[in-house]
Structure 1
Amino acid sequence: MDEAPPVDGDGMALDGTRIDGTRIDAVLFDVFGTVVDWRGSVAREVEMWSQERGLGIDAADFADRWRERYQPSMEPIRHGEREFVPLDVLHRESLEALLAEEQITASADEIERLVLAWHRLDPWPDTIEGIARLKARHIVAPLSNGNIAMMLDVAKRAGIPWDAILGAEVVRAYKPAPEAYLRTAALLALPPERCMLVAAHNYDLEAASQCGFRTAFVVRPRQYGPDQRIDLAPEGDWDVVVDSFPAVAAALGA
């Protein structure tokens, strides 16, 4: 058996290949809020549309209320009550319901434009550097509930250097269902313990950890806006706790 490399006081491998004696081959990322600023990006697009229409919408509030429908929209799929559909479909349905609630009329083209706002999300300032550093020594890919076309568009626009596009649409399961994590590891021909999930959401890391993944919590204190109250601190015994992607890379020796 290979001898494990030296570790620091927190159990993080100094050579970046092992944590607690386990080799890490794939570093996988939650995307919304972790890799990209979904709230600021969607609010920007809503604000532009609102101004063009003269609607006077509170764009940040609209983005928040749209996002509030995100988890509930996936529940019927998680419980087998609905066939899997891509997140673009769920985003469209949530948007149409929100517009109806607000008694706002929108053309099909306007709805399409707003749905595609989720394809134009801005990365956090440290995103590209950190992923590029990790890519030199690890497989890097999204493990997101976003669909393939969305993840591709976000990556191409932002210059995110993924090795592959993985996630819900590929494995036909929405996080935090165990299948989302386990099938992703299987696609990479890796046992779960040789995969690490990087996320700014404690619930996501908890689900991944229960599946055997290693975990890295990255604090994103403004992912929910200036009044954020959740995910400001780790709520589990995560392997790495940092405030940026370059710090994740440093913890893994990259």
Structure 2
Amino acid sequence: MFDVSEVTVIAVDVFGTTVDWRSGVIDGVAAIAGHHETEFDCPALVDAWRERYLPAVGQINRGERAWANLDAVHREALDECLEVFGVAGKFGAEARERMVRAWYALPPWPDAAAGLAELRRDFVVVALSNGGFAQLTHVVKGAGLGFDAILSAENVGAYKPDRRAYVNAAKLLDAEPRTILMVAAHTWDIHGARDAGFRTTFVERPGEKGPDRPADAAETTDCDLSAVSFADLAGQLRGARKGVDAGH
């Protein structure tokens, strides 16, 4: 256990860690497809859509293409997926924009709201996400999530796991990187935060990628802590702080 007494801020990833992006987007896209009386494998399309995300933001981080916020990245990937699934001609610009907006209304994981509230008893708790600021505002409000602040990739023009995203977060929070604990369900996010000097916690979200694909796992992630929920993390941190206090 690292020195928990140094931690003042908990930075939490949003998509997949705090909210269930997959079921939310599937429901949203399926509703639009039903309205257009069009059938296709909606879960498969949403999975293919998500798979294009990290390669696209990687190109932006490497300077291979101009900055674009996540809505623009999602729209480009959606256009590709509709072509691949043979239904591009069924959906015009308005329907496609509504599909992109499906990423604005996502259900929280069952432990999220109460767990964040428990963490906020002892720490400043912020969302640190690749989502756009407007997108995150709607997601957080709709899911009833109690963050103290929202930090978007738009704040710096770089996407996690680029080091700039984490360094900028520390600057905005006026906090040393070692005093920030990054919480995420993705190995790439944990490793990006660690490389920027943050402390890290991997939180298990076994259903994040659906029933047929394995989610990232703590045992394959180099992190300081692992937890099965936000409440579990809060309990671990509280216990560790008590241990430190007792030792003093």
TM-score (norm 1): 0.89
Shift of 1:22: 5.0
Q: Which amino acid counterpart does residue 153 of structure 2 have in structure 1?
A: A
SS at 1:166's partner residue?
strand
Question: Which of the numbers 57, 60, 64 marks the counterpart of 2:43?
Answer: 60
Q: Which amino acid counterpart does residue 209 of structure 1 have in structure 2?
A: R
CA distance, structure 2, for counterparts of residue 195 and residue 68 of structure 1: 29
Q: Which amino acid counterpart does residue 155 of structure 1 have in structure 2?
A: V
Contact 1:22 1:193 in 2 (8 A): no
Shift of 1:55: 1.6
Question: Which of the numbers 162, 165, 176 marks the counterpart of 1:191?
Answer: 176
Verify: 1:209 aligned to 2:194, yes or no.
Answer: yes
TM-score (norm 2): 0.91
Verify: 1:70 aligned to 2:53, yes or no.
Answer: yes
Shift of 1:209: 0.8
Shift of 1:136: 2.0
Could you tell me which residue of structure 2 aligns to residue 238 of structure 1? Answer: 223
5+ long unaligned stretches in structure 1: 1-10, 12-18
Which region of structure 1 is more displaced relative to structure 2, 49-58 or 88-97?
A: 49-58
Contact 1:198 1:217 in 2 (8 A): yes
- The within-5 A match list for 1:42-53 is 42-53=25-36
Question: Which of the numbers 222, 229, 232 marks the counterpart of 2:207?
Answer: 222
Give the 4+ runs in structure 1 shifted more than 3 A.
Answer: none
CA-atom RMSD in angstroms: 1.5
CA distance, structure 1, for counterparts of residue 219 and residue 158 of structure 2: 25
The alignment of Structure 1 onto Structure 2 pairs a total of residues equal to 237
Q: Which amino acid counterpart does residue 42 of structure 2 have in structure 1?
A: A
Could you tell me which residue of structure 2 aligns to residue 102 of structure 1? Answer: 85
CA distance, structure 2, for counterparts of residue 108 and residue 67 of structure 1: 20
Question: Identity over aligned residues, as a percent?
Answer: 41
Q: Which amino acid counterpart does residue 59 of structure 1 have in structure 2?
A: C
Verify: 1:123 aligned to 2:108, yes or no.
Answer: yes
Where is the helix percentage greater, Structure 1 or Structure 2? 2
Verify: 1:35 aligned to 2:21, yes or no.
Answer: no
CA distance, structure 1, for counterparts of residue 221 and residue 24 of structure 2: 29
Shift of 1:62: 1.1
5+ long unaligned stretches in structure 2: 240-248
